[in-house]
Amino acid sequence: MEQVKGVVKHMVLAKFKEGVPEEEIEKHIKDYANLLNHIEHMKSFQWGTDVSIENLHQGFTHIFEATFETLEGRSAYVAHPAHVKFGTALFPTLEKVIVIDYVPKA
């Protein structure tokens, strides 16, 4: 298998706490997407909600994907003040979260 050149994926699976209003979740999603405007190493952002029919989501309802060109860029993103501020607001609304970074292979 060969590594895809110049790509690092940052995946976040989120289970929001019961009672978090949909408007607050929407604000977090907009704020996450807005990081593209503040962090040069972040090249793209996508998100979605679980639509699987297998019922294996374990309560995780939202997935967020950010793309970076390098592992160093991903590391700079994690430490960037805009990301830290975003995470500080997001994390108290989450019951569970999984974060996985990977380099795609083909």
Catalytic residue among 32, 41, 77, 83: 77
From 10, 80, 83, 102, active-site residue = 80
57 in catalytic set: no
- Annotated active-site residue 62? The verdict is no
Q: Which residue stretches of the chain are H helix? A: 22-34, 71-79, 81-90
Cβ neighbours around 95 below 10 Å, total: 12
CA torsion through residues 84, 85, 86, 89, sign: positive
Rounded to 5 degrees, what are φ and ψ at 86?
Answer: -60, -50
Catalytically active residues, by annotation: 77, 80
